[in-house]
Each structure stands twice: as structure tokens, then as C-alpha cells.
Structure 1
Amino acid sequence: MSTQSFDFRLSGLAGFAALLSQSAFADLIEDSSVTLTARNFYLDRDYKDETPYPAAREWAQGFIVRAHSGFTEGTVGFGLDATGMLGLKLDSSPDRTGTQLLSYDPLSREVRDEYSELGLALKGKVSRTRVSVGTQFPSLPVIYASPARLLPQSFRGVYMISDELDGLTLHAGRMDRVNQRDSTDYQPLALASPNGRFQPGATAERFDFHGVDYRWTDNLTLRLFHAELRDIYTQDFLGALHWLPLGESRLKSDIRVFDSRDDGQAKAGKVDNLNVGGMFSYLWGGHSLGVGYMRQFGDTAFPYLAGGEPIVLSDGTLSADFVNPRERTWTLRYDYDFAASGIPGLTGMARYLHGDSIDLPALGGGSLSESSKDFELSYVIQSGPAKGLAFRLRETFYRNQQNANATFRSDNETRINIDYTIRLW
């Protein structure tokens, strides 16, 4: 934990204590909640073809405590959110690190037995507008705190959400540091550059964003966002989510368009990308069958913040992101909720993605392809003493035509999660 972060947290607590001395406690305590999530995570990547390391394989146990206060009484209410996280090594070795489950020394590749962090956020509320300062977990198309490992990624900054108008939600914020999923301290913001897509080493002092979610009708939601990673890239997003009732079935349409370009000094080099994607799913009973298509226009790959994943058509894939220069991706996905067959809590998914026309001359050519077969089975206990205990098994078979220097390499990947969340308060 850095000294700067520690000082920030101490000053935040002191300020909050001063506020409490002048405010009523009723709503602050009454509306508070504390939850504990225990997460057991096993990740196994078995690499194929030529590769420096034959596998990335680790097993870890995590604990996440989330404490959310209510707000003090008055026209302006104040509160405090705290998130404590602990990761414990169960199995690892220097020759198979790199899963991002555990923190390790990049030189010796020795894994730490444990790592922990504490995030605090002071918050204020006026009417239906909330402002938070401190540790943030945004979940937006342009900035997404990835929860895809043992402990979630987090950001440091200011975030405002306003619901003053019915059906309209405004978002605005500025982040200046990021705490990665396998890290314990805040680091400068950077542009993700797998497969050498952009110039390495470029960092930014801030990431600004603003946007709106507008529920046009009960069946149509529109999203519009603008973001800027200063002196690296700017990005505009337009999205539409539509549900069309068809008797006892429904058609879901999910459209996402990102327009990205370099900004200011362009520290990471040229950014020129238009990402257009759409997913169309037909739902009936417990079934969902979807087909989608995504294409990269422009001279570069799709840009997104380092340490996470892009919220595009391929989100949720395990071994690659499918946003290389010029890439065209189509996908077929099937989901089934076994509650329709009398087994509530059990769900399954199968998906196939295929990308082609990939332009990566340094990694093998100008017309490469990749594919991924993804399978998932999950079950959440619905009643009894273990109610809420969740089991999740995911399996991926990923293949590409890129050479051994590529960030994403052909592999078979297995992930097993056991999560249990209990409310302490």
C-alpha cells in the first residue's frame, strides 16, 4: 500500500468522523449493510504449440468484505463505503504463475503467500444525486472494474450518479489511479496493449468520463458515453438494448458502437478504431439462442484500459478479446435455465466465436484467424443452511494462427469458482 493512498484514507476517515459529530446517526446506521464473500478460485491455462511457459495454473482463496453505510439526515447526507480484500495462495509455483489470481515478483516469479488491501470512499447525497470520492468499482461501457479474478479491479477517483429525472441516469467521473486484480497498490492508468497493438509504457494522470442511460420505453434503453484517457485516447459509445415481446417468447437486441481515436500527445501512438457489434437473441421457456457479429474498422485495434477487458460483443471470453486490427467476429450462443425443467439455480451456456481478417504482420500475417469454444455450468443452492452457495465451472478451447510472441496463445482453459456471500449486518 502506498504512503499516498494511506494518507488519503486516514484523511478521509478523519473528515468523516467530523461530519458524524454534527449529524444524526439514525439513517446512517439503519440503512447500512455489511457482507462477506468467500471466493475459492482455480484457474488452469494449458498452452498449446510453442510457448515460453507450458501452463499458467494457480489455486487461491479470497475474502471480500463490503461495508456500505446509509446517509446522515438532512438536506445533504453523508456516508462511507469500505471494501476490504484478502487473497491467499493455496497452490502455485514460479513456472506457472501469471493467472492474475495472485501477486508475484515479476523478476523471480515467486508468488506471495497473501496480499490484501482496503478501499474507502466518502459519499454524499442530495435528493437523488450521489457523489463518491475514493475507491470506485465502475461498471460502464467505457470503464469497467473487472471482477473476473480472485479480487476485483478498482479505481481511485470521483464518481457521480444522478437519477433526478425518471428514466434518465447521468454518470460523470474522473479516475486518477487503478488497483489491478493481483495488486495491492494504486498505479498510473495505462492503455491495454496485448499483441503489441500500441506503444508500451504510456501512462495517464487521469481518465474522465460522462454519459447517460435513458430508458426510452419499458422495452428500450439507450446509452451514450464519452471518455478520455488524457493524451492517449478518446472514446465515444452508443448502445441500444431492446426487448420485443413475441407471444410467450421475446427477441433481445443488443447493439454496441465504439468510436475511438488518439488524444493530445498520443503517448501510445496512433489510435483509430470503430467497433460495431450486435447480438440478437431469441428467448423462449428456459432457452436463449443468440447470434452476433462484430467488426473493427480503422487502422488500429480497439483501445481499453489496462488490467481489464473490453465491454464489447466478445465480453466474457476467457482467453482472448477478439478486437485486433481489422478483425471480423461472429458468434453463436446458447443458454439454458434449468428452472424451466424444475431445477432452479442451475444454468448452462455454450458459445462459439470465430474471428478472421486479423491484421498483425509482426505476429504472423495480415489475414489471421482465431476461434474459441466456451462452455459454462453453474449452480446456486436455493434453500437451507447453505443457501446462496454458488458453484461455477467454465471451460474454453481457444486457438489462433499467431506466432509464439503473441500475448494470447492457443490454450485449453479451465476455471472453477466456489462463492459464498453472507450478510453480516
Structure 2
Amino acid sequence: MNHRPFAPAAPMRHLCIAAATLATLATAHAGTQDDAQGFIAGSSLNMLNRYVYEQLDYQHGSTFRATNGERSKTQATESAYGLMLQYQSGYTRGPIGLGLDAQAYGAINLGTDANSARATPRYVAKDGQGIPNRFGRAGAALKIRLSSTELKLGEIRTKNPIFSSSDSRLLPESNRGWLISSSDIPTLALQAGRFTGWADRNARKSNNPLQANYSGAQGDAFRFMGGAWSPAGQTFSLSSYFGQYEDNWNTWYLGGFYKRPLENNRALSVNLNLYRNTDTGQAQSGEVNNTTWSLLGTYATGPHKIGVGYQKVHGNSPFDYVNRGSIWLDNAMQLSDFNGPQEASWQIKYELDLATLLSPGWSAGIAYTRGSGIDNNHLNSVYANYLGYSGHNGKHWERDAVLRYAVPSGRAKGLNLQLRYSMHRTNAAQGEANIDQIKLQAEFPFKLF
């Protein structure tokens, strides 16, 4: 195992040097703090309403255990309404601005019961009595800004390839810690942070222990630093991040995107994501030595867009990550991540802007992803015990179809509707379930001030 400790002193020295450099730049270049409107004058309060209904039909002998403990169930249904309030203050005027961000998330169960939801529900919460009628949580973060460099401390939602907060279900995911973001250097967006607490998407409270998705191992902290470079006026970007899930693994990420416009409203684009995970410290997830990458090419012409992708896992464990949204691989789909040990997968997808065929705001997409070569026989004991997978020559496929409508104007402008149908089929060696999914989601944002 790799027991190379993450030496915090060196990154902190780098952060101090970077902070000093940015402070110098701030005296020579105008930053966003120069336009501060004041704590109250720059404030905003937004509300997002979201309704979700999902039905999962288990097929070909696959079953699940319900929240009430009943086994061999074949149809899971959940329905709920979520309300998300987000307050963002402005910044006080002066060289250093102070502000506050706060959020309150609430959800109402719309008929989901312990007999129909899975033992680990996907949208609603779970308590000692089963499925509560309502649940929610709240949090806040202090923010400090110098020029275009911002420090946040408290309950935060993050977005980067190795530590990203998911918002793919009813309520958003969030974490507790600190985050530095800077755009003082032109064309370069930098981030660094350290987080010690977690709130899953259906959590009833914040600051729960961090947890790996596939090993189940908990960690005291996740720290990272990195950034993205996007040259002005160019159609490509490069990003790189390094992070550590304390006493579990180190993660290094490299990403790139390139788009080439062509004549007659056509374009070609390529997207690359590469992750490298190696165990560290006490290695609570066991031995980890995993390199995973994906490459997606897309051709667009008029309202049509077609993409072909390939993804490969090199290693005897799944590609694992912390936070539900920290997987930016192109073949991570609706029902499966296609990230099994030694797995190779390919994808073909098609998207269509239906504005000319129906009316503005309509769009649709279909995708097919197939994975094979999965070998669960060499999982270390941590992954084997948590996942319960075994066998080799695992294979599976997934089909996804989605229809979307976004109201383009009028009183209902901003209303987004989405209907999704997905199928996942697998063999026993792959380890996941055979499922058909129907998902209906409606969102309506509203700005209070």
C-alpha cells in the first residue's frame, strides 16, 4: 500500500505565497471587490421549488429491501416536494469585503411510505419510525473578499472535478469547511479547500462524517487545491486538481476541453477526464491503485448533436469518490457510473433541440452505454465486504431517454419540466441490479429580491 502522508505544511506554504501574490495583483488590477454595493444593497434571496416522482421497477430476478425491512420487493416509488431558499448578502465596501451566505432546505413527503421506498431512500429522509412527513436542514457561511479572491467558511456547496456537491435529486448536497476561490489572475480560476462534514441530498442534519461512495469508508477531512485555465477568446480549457481523502486515498485529476467551430452552424468538440487514486495514511479503503479516464467526442450541426465516448478503469477496485457529484467521467450515467474494476465502456448519444419542430424550449436526448471486462475477484477486503460483489467477466448496459421543456417566456418563465426513462441490464458478476426507471421532475425558480 502507498502510505505517503499528505504533508499539509507544503500546500499551506503554497497557499500563503499565492495569497501574497494575489494581494500584490489586487493593487495593480481592478477586482470584483471594487464594485461592492454593501452588505444589504447587494443582497438577494432566491427560492427554488422542485417536485420529483420516481418509480424503479426491478427486473429479471433483481429485488430490493424496503424501508420497513420487507425483502424481495420489485417496485420502489418515491414522491416529494422540495423548497430551497438561498440568501446571499452583498459585500461591505472597502479593500476587504465581508458578507454572509445562508440557505434553508425543506421537503414534504408526498405519499412515499416505508413499504414502497428502498431501505436507503433516494429522495426522502429516513428515521427510526420510517419515512417522516417532512424534513430539512439549514446552514450558513461567512465570506471574505479581497479583490477577486474569496474565502468562505461554514456550510458550502462546491463544484470541481474531485469534490463537487450533487444537486441531482430533491435537495442539494453540502459540506462544512472552508473554500478559497480566486479569479485575480486573468484566464485562471483557482480553488483550494478543506472540508470535515457532509450533508447528503436527503440528510436531516449537516456535519455528518464524510463517506466514500463505493468503499463506505469514513474520513475526517477532504482537502484539495487546483484550478482551470481558459485562455481569453479561445475554445479550449485545461484543469488540474490534487486532493486527499484523509487516511483513504490521494486523488489527482487532469481535464481538457476543446471545441472547433465549423462552417454552416457546425462544430466538433472533445472532452477528456482523467483520475488517478492511490491509497494513503491508514488506508481505510484498503489498497487503492486506480487510473480511470474518459474521452467524449461530439459533432453538432444545427439542432442535432451526436456524441461517442469511451471510458476505461485501470485497477482492481472501482473508481471511488467522496460527495455524490465528484465524478465527472463522461460515461457516469443515470443508473450506473460504469466504473467497475478493469471496466471498459463505450457510449453513443444523440440530442435534439426541438424548437423548430415543436416550439421554443423543447429538447430531447437518448443515450446507450455498454460496459464489459469487469473483474470483481481482486477487490480488496474493504470493497468486497461493503459492495458484496464477486466474479469476473462482468458486463452491463444502460439506455437513457429524456424529454425536457423550459418555459421561455411569460409568467411561468423559468419553469423546467423533465421526463426521463432509463433501463439498466447486468449479469451477476457486475453486481448491480436490473432496473427500469421512470422519473418526472418539475422545477420553478423565483427571485424574492
Q: What does residue 266 of structure 1 align with? A: 283
The reply on whether 1:77 has 2:97 as its aligned counterpart is yes
Measure how far apart 1:341 and its partner are.
Answer: 4.2
Shift of 1:27: 2.1
Please say if residues 206 and 229 of structure 1, whose CA atoms lie closer than 8 Å, have aligned partners that are also in contact: yes
Q: Give the match for residue 257 of structure 2.
A: 241
Percent of aligned positions that are identical? 27
Indicate conservation of the 8 Å contact 1:285/1:340, yes or no: no
Structure 1 residues 219-239: Cα deviation after superposition (integer angstroms, max 9, x where no partner): 110000001000101110000
1:101 to 123, 147, 151: 123
Matched with 1:209 is 224
AA paired with 1:166?
P
Q: Is the 8 A contact 1:355 1:370 kept in 2?
A: yes
In structure 2, the partner of 1:328 is 344
Indicate conservation of the 8 Å contact 2:391/2:429, yes or no.
no
Quick one: which amino acid aligns to residue 268 of structure 2? L
| Distance across 1 between alignment mates of 2:245 and 2:393 | 30
CA distance in 2, matches of 1:244, 1:374: 27
Q: In 2, are the aligned partners of 1:40 and 1:62 still within 8 Å (CA)?
A: yes
The answer to whether structure 1 residue 281 and structure 2 residue 298 are counterparts is yes
Deviation at 1:342, TM superposition (A): 6.5
User: 252-261 or 214-223: which moved more?
Assistant: 214-223
Shift of 1:303: 1.3
Q: Is the 8 A contact 2:310 2:331 kept in 1?
A: no
Pick one of 347, 365, 373 that aligns with 2:391: 365
Helix, strand or coil for the counterpart of 2:184?
strand
Q: What residue ranges of structure 2 are gaps of 5+ in the alignment?
A: 1-35, 64-71, 378-387
Q: Deviations over 1:156-175 (max 9, x none)?
A: 11011100111001100001
Aligned to 2:175: 155
Q: 1:113 aligns with which of 130, 133, 151?
A: 133
**Counterpart Cα distance in 2 of 1:395 and 1:272:** 35
Counterpart Cα distance in 2 of 1:326 and 1:155: 31
Match of residue 270 from structure 2: 253
- Unaligned ranges ≥5, structure 1: 1-24
Question: Counterpart of 2:283 in structure 1: which amino acid?
Answer: A
Contact 1:378 1:391 in 2 (8 A): yes
Q: Specify whether residues 82 and 306 from structure 1 end up closer, same or farther in structure 2 by C-alpha distance, changes over 3 A only.
A: closer
In the alignment, the residues of structure 2 paired with residue 284 and residue 111 of structure 1 have an alpha-carbon distance, to the nearest angstrom, of 48
Within 5 Å, which residues of 2 pair with 1:16-35? 26-35=37-46
Question: Which residue of the partner structure matches residue 38 of structure 1?
Answer: 49
Q: State which of 271, 284, 301 in structure 1 corresponds to 2:318.
A: 301
Q: Distance in 2 between matches of 1:256 and 1:307?
A: 17
Q: Which of 434, 439, 442 matches 1:410?
A: 434
* Cα displacement string for residues 82-102 of structure 1 (whole angstroms, at most 9, x for unaligned residues): 111101000112122134211
CA distance in 2, matches of 1:53, 1:322: 25
Preserved CA contact (<8 Å) 1:258 1:275: yes
Shift of residue 311, structure 1, vs aligned partner: 1.8
2:39 is paired with a residue of what secondary structure? helix
Alpha-carbon contact 2:238-2:255 (below 8 Å) kept: yes
Instruction: Give TM-score scaled by structure 1 length.
Output: 0.88
Counterpart AA for 2:38: D
Contact 2:376 2:429 (C-alpha < 8 Å) held by counterparts: no
Cα distance per residue 1:48-80 (max 9 Å; x no partner): 123233122110011001111110001100101
Tell me by how many angstroms 1:184 deviates: 1.7
CA distance in 2, matches of 1:285, 1:91: 43
Give the 5 Å matches for 1:365-384: 365-384=391-410
1:364–1:401 CA contact under 8 A, matched in 2:
no
- What's the counterpart of residue 338 of structure 1? 354
Q: Which residue of 2 aligns with 1:3?
A: none
1:173 partnered with 2:189: no
Aligned to 1:129: 149
**Number of equivalences:** 390
- Which of 190, 201, 204 is the equivalent residue of 1:184? 204
Distance 1:423 1:264 in 2: 46
Secondary structure at the residue paired with 1:165?
coil
CA distance in 1 between partners of 2:140 and 2:73 (Å) = 38
Give the whole-Å Cα distance in 1 for the aligned partners of 2:392 and 2:52: 37
Q: Shift in Å at residue 364 of structure 1?
A: 5.3
**Contact map agreement 1:32 1:68 (CA 8 A) in 2:** yes
Q: Which amino acid aligns with 1:298?
A: G
Measure, in 1, the Cα distance between the counterparts of 2:411 and 2:337.
39
2:268·2:299 contact (CA, 8 Å) conserved in 1?
yes
Q: What is the deviation of 1:211?
A: 0.4
Detail structure 1 runs of 4+ shifted over 3 Å in the superposition: 306-309, 361-364
Deviation at 1:318, TM superposition (A): 1.9
Aligned 8 A contact 2:163 2:325 in 1: no
1:50 aligns with 2:99: no
Question: In the alignment, is the contact (CA less than 8 A) between 2:163 and 2:326 conserved in 1?
Answer: no
Spell out, residue by residue over 1:172-227, the C-alpha distance to the aligned partner (whole angstroms, 9 max, x if none).
Answer: 0001010011112221112112xxxx3x4x31111001001001351110000001
Equivalent position SS for 2:282: coil
In structure 1, which of residues 312, 324, 332 is the aligned counterpart of residue 329 of structure 2? 312
- Alignment partner, residue 397 of structure 1: 423
Give the aligned residue type for 2:336.
A
Larger strand proportion of the pair = 1
CA displacement at 1:356 relative to structure 2: 0.3
Give the 3-state SS of the residue equivalent to 2:230 in structure 1: strand
